[in-house]
């Protein structure tokens, strides 16, 4: 289940603040949200869509900009991966930069593990 609220297109966070925002989120009666990994956030990118809307249909609140993932860049720990909903690309960004965040939760945690971490 993906968060899709006005904050997804308005509020900017550092990487640490984005992680904290998701971990403390209480939305739709759920408190088990987290900042998605790079594979998780990539799963909602749709490169077949027009430029500026590289996010799957159904999402209302987004900006065609970069969004944080929880994935730290292995070769440079002060950087983390971010994904653009403008063009669908992934880049590494210094963790003190200000980017958007979109939180995720999973009603079937075992299925989430199988889909994104095996």
What is the model's pLDDT at position 117? 57
- Asked whether residue 2 is domain-assigned, the answer is no
What is the model's pLDDT at position 1? 86
Q: How far is CA 16 from CA 22, 29, 32, 48, in A?
A: 10, 24, 17, 31
Q: Is 88 in contact with 55 (CB distance < 8 Å)?
A: no
Average pLDDT for consecutive 10-residue bins of the chain (118 residues)?
84 96 89 92 91 88 94 92 94 97 79 60
Structural domain boundaries, residue 88: 7-116
What is the model's pLDDT at position 18? 97
- Asked whether residue 11 is domain-assigned, the answer is yes
Q: Is 33 in contact with 105 (CB distance < 8 Å)?
A: yes
What is the model's pLDDT at position 114? 65
What is the model's pLDDT at position 7? 83
Cα distance between residue 66 and residue 63, in whole Å: 8
H/E stretch holding 94:
strand 90-94
How many domains, the chain? Answer: 1
């Amino acid at each position: 289940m993906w968060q899709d609220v006005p904050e997804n297109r308005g509020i900017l966070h550092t990487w640490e603040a984005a992680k904290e925002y998701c971990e403390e989120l209480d939305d739709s009666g759920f408190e088990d949200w987290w900042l998605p990994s790079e594979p998780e956030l990539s799963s909602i990118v749709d490169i077949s869509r027009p430029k500026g809307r590289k996010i799957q249909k159904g999402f209302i609140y987004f900006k065609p900009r970069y969004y944080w993932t929880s994935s730290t860049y292995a070769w440079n720990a002060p950087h983390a991966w971010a994904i653009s909903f403008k063009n669908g690309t992934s880049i590494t960004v210094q963790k003190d930069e200000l980017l958007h965040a979109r939180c995720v939760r999973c009603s079937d945690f075992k299925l989430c593990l199988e889909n994104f971490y095996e």
